């Protein structure tokens, strides 16, 4: 169990996780100051680490700058502020006064108040049992009776990284259909901000970073990482000074958006979690995966089903007859969940109309959805359906009736993307309307699975009728969370997939309310190797939806073998997304075999520990390995992207095995010594040619 200890003499708190320690203290002026983050220390050992206040050596540098537990704007510190407030009289600086603290098991709350103004600040810390993750957040309360307080910036936490000779940052960048492109590069001096101003997590960046000294590898080295649990606009800023100090501060919000606190109001920030590990990037990833499985996902112990999705087969041309034909083929393959995508409602024959009119299209489904759903269930599958609740087409009955429901500014163009506008879920009436039709849809049809999509970012994000329109940036996301929470509470069997034009809404915040995420609209197997590699740095395979689709690929027009496509998708939550009515009997037979194989290895893939043996590149060989929690089974995926010149096959060294044990290859019957697999590796036996792949199953004897 985590342990939190307070020392009155030094006015310091020591937070002990499963294998690490974190410490903070009160400075002489009562401001919260960072002390330590790293390998485990006892309270006695921490006394050797506690610093004194630094002495100023010139008039331009504060010696304690960059050591604030939550860097606040004010005084002589000019570090990147995590907290900026503006009081009614124009005062901006914050001065801390310590009030009290509470320790409740693995949770710590430290309470402060401004020395003059009616603002209370609570710093929250929580260690989920069995992890080294420290969840942090901030609460700001206006405890006065007069004018509102403007909160210009309210980050959840500042993380101070220990002094090192050098620093490197790992993060992902990308765009639609090219999400989660992993970058590792030196930390620049000054301020570097990663973020999204789009109202969603975004395809272009993701709210996590990892920092190391530049020498960490997949298996070795200290890694400091932080991940934000938020699905709206966000920012994470690294600051590196000339004296070598580095901090990471992050939270929701963006420049120019102000939170207004009226008397009695409390603003609570999302969790910005931190993690220290000393086993390289692989250990950091496995620790984040274990945390997400154990403390974030709603039903972590479940095995996610093999699904079929109709989008790439039918597009908007959805009919009951066509869906029945696909369902019959899917069931014969061994699919467990049939998902009907866009095109089933309103005047939805393309992306130009119908969003907002969530009534079944009776031309396509003369007797409603129930006959199709009954047939899907008769075939032995669960039924899922695509929805996009936050959007509306201008060509819809809803928009014609309620044009004020969308984000907009007076006298400004309402920019359309994909012929649609964004509904303002911060409005209680809009959120209640959305919950109402979703609740009725799920309840009336006993829907098992919702694919919740969002196909465009915010624009003209105004709310003319409201006195505090900036709050929509936060309240919209919170309303999405609340609707998902209410649906799950009212329909315990419902499962949800988060989607935003692919991977535009992937983060720990949405994962707390969904069961899986759509990783990218790009299902090209070669591209997916890279996308899935970046995704898996923080997020677990258990939530990574991956489809096998038609050849050539719908987006890239690249051709790859069906075997390669299956094996890439089997490294996550397997789905089928091709027009299987047109597949050959040979391909259908192979698909049945691979789906059966996936069901056999699924417990290891979805619930085991991931080891990235060889990272993907544009050519060459890459490899992944999953090891069951009890160590009894392992699954190895090996891929050859391209073979430019004749070369002899090289062994792939495995990881996470017991060196003293022996392991049987379930396909060849060969028995290996664990020590040999770890030290030397095995020859995977890849087929000849480009886009070759193999799945190796090992059982501990």
Q: What is the pLDDT of residues 388-419, one digit of tens each?
A: 999 999 999 999 999 999 999 999 999 999 99
- Residue 470: the pLDDT is 97
**Mean of the pLDDT values across residues 411-428?**
98
Alpha carbon of 412 to those of 199, 430, 451, 459: distances in Å?
Answer: 19, 22, 32, 11
H or E element that contains 640: strand 633-642
341 annotated among ligand-binding-site residues: yes
Instruction: Read off the tokens for 432.
Output: 């209640």
pLDDT score recorded for residue 54: 63
pLDDT in tens, 551-567: 999 999 999 999 999 99
Average pLDDT of the chain to the nearest whole number: 96
For 84-108, write each residue's pLDDT tens digit.
999 999 999 899 999 999 999 899 9
Supply the residues annotated as catalytic: 453, 521
The arithmetic mean of pLDDT across residues 143-157, rounded, is 96
* 3-class SS letters over 348-410: CCCCCCCCCCCCECCCCCCCCCHHHHHHHHHCCCEEEEEECCCEECCCCHHHHHCHHHECCCC
The answer to the question of whether 592 is labelled as a binding residue is no
Q: Please state the pTM of the whole predicted model.
A: 0.98
CA–CA distance, 248 with 23 (Å, rounded to integer) = 16
Indicate the pairing of strand 662-665 with strand 671-673. Answer: antiparallel
Both tokens assigned to 163: 């002094």
pLDDT-based confidence at 120, cuts 50/70/90?
A: very high
Q: Does the annotation list 454 as a binding residue?
A: yes
Check the annotation: does 77 bind a ligand: no
pLDDT band at 56 (very low <50, low <70, confident <90, very high): low
**630 among annotated binding-site residues:** no
Domains located in the chain, CATH noted = 3-46+68-295 (2.70.98.60), 307-607 (3.20.20.70), 614-700 (2.60.40.1180)
pLDDT of residue 644: 72
Q: What percent of the chain has pLDDT over 90?
A: 93
Query: What pLDDT score was predicted for residue 53?
Result: 62
**What per-residue confidence (pLDDT) applies to 642?**
84
Q: Residue 627: which of 568, 700, 690 has the closest Cα?
A: 700
Find out whether 176 is annotated in a ligand binding site: yes
Q: Is 455 annotated as a binding residue?
A: yes
Interatomic CA distance for residues 395 and 422, integer angstroms: 13
364 is in an annotated binding site: no
């Amino acid at each position: 169990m985590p342990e939190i200890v307070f020392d009155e003499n030094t006015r310091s708190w020591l937070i002990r996780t499963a294998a690490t320690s974190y410490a903070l203290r009160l400075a002489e002026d009562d401001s919260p100051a960072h002390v330590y983050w790293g390998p485990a220390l006892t309270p006695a050992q921490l006394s050797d680490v506690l610093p004194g206040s630094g002495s100023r050596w010139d008039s331009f540098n504060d010696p304690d700058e960059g050591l604030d537990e939550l860097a606040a704007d004010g005084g002589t510190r000019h570090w990147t502020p995590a907290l900026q407030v503006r009081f009614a009289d124009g005062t901006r600086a914050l001065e801390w006064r310590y009030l009290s603290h509470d320790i409740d098991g693995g949770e710590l709350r430290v309470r402060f108040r401004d020395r003059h103004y009616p603002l209370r600040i609570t710093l929250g810390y929580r260690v989920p049992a069995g992890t080294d993750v420290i969840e942090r957040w901030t609460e700001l309360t206006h405890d006065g009776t007069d004018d509102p307080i403007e909160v210009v910036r309210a980050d959840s936490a500042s993380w101070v990284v220990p002094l090192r000779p050098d620093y490197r940052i790992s993060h992902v960048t990308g765009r639609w259909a090219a999400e989660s492109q992993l970058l590792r590069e030196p930390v620049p001096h000054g301020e570097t901000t990663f973020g999204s101003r789009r109202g969603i997590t975004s395809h272009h960046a993701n709210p996590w970073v990892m920092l190391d000294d530049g020498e960490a590898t997949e298996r070795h080295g200290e890694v400091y990482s932080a991940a934000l649990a938020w699905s709206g606009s966000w920012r994470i800023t690294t600051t590196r000074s000339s004296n070598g100090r580095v901090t990471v501060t992050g939270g929701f919000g963006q420049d120019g958006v102000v939170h207004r606190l009226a008397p009695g109001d409390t603003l609570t920030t999302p969790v910005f979690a931190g993690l220290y590990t000393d086993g390289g990037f692989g250990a950091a990833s496995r620790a984040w995966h274990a945390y997400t499985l154990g403390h974030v996902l709603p039903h972590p112990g479940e095995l996610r089903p093999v699904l079929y999705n109709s989008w790439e087969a039918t597009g908007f041309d959805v009919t009951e007859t066509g869906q029945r034909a696909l369902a019959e083929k899917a069931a014969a393959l061994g699919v467990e969940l049939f998902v009907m995508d866009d095109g089933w409602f309103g005047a939805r024959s393309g992306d130009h109309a119908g969003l907002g009119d969530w009534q079944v299209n009776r031309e396509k489904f003369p007797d409603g959805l129930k006959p199709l759903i009954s047939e899907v269930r008769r075939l032995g599958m669960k039924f899922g359906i695509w929805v996009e609740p936050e959007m509306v087409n201008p060509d819809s009955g809803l928009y014609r009736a309620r044009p004020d429901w969308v984000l907009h500014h007076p006298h400004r163009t309402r920019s359309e993307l994909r012929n649609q506008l964004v509904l303002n879920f911060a409005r209680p009436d809009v959120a209640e309307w959305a919950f109402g039709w979703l609740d009725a849809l799920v309840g009336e049809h006993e829907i098992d699975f919702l694919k919740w999509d969002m196909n465009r970012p915010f624009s003209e994000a105004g709310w003319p009728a409201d006195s505090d329109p900036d709050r929509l940036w936060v309240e919209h996301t919170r309303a999405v969370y609340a609707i998902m929470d209410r649906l799950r509470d009212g329909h315990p069997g419902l499962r949800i997939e988060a989607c935003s034009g692919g991977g535009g809404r992937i983060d720990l915040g949405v994962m707390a309310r969904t069961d899986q995420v759509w990783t990218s609209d790009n299902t090209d197997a070669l591209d997916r190797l890279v996308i899935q590699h970046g995704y898996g740095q923080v997020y677990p395979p258990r939530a990574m939806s991956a489809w096998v689709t038609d050849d050539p690929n719908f987006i890239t027009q690249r051709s790859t073998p069906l075997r390669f496509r299956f094996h890439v998708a089997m490294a996550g939550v397997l789905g089928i997304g091709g027009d299987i009515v047109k597949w050959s009997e040979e391909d259908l037979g192979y698909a049945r075999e691979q789906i059966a194989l996936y069901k056999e290895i699924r417990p290891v893939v979805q619930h085991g520990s991931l080891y990235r043996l060889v990272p993907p590149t544009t050519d060459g060989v890459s490899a992944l390995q999953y090891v069951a929690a009890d160590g009894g089974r392992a699954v190895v995926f090996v891929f050859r992207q391209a073979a430019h010149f004749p070369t002899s096959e090289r062994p792939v060294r495995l990881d996470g095995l017991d060196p003293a044990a022996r392991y049987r290859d379930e396909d060849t019957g060969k028995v290996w010594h664990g020590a040999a697999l770890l030290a030397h590796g095995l020859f995977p036996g890849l087929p000849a040619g480009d886009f070759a792949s193999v799945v190796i199953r090992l059982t501990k004897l």
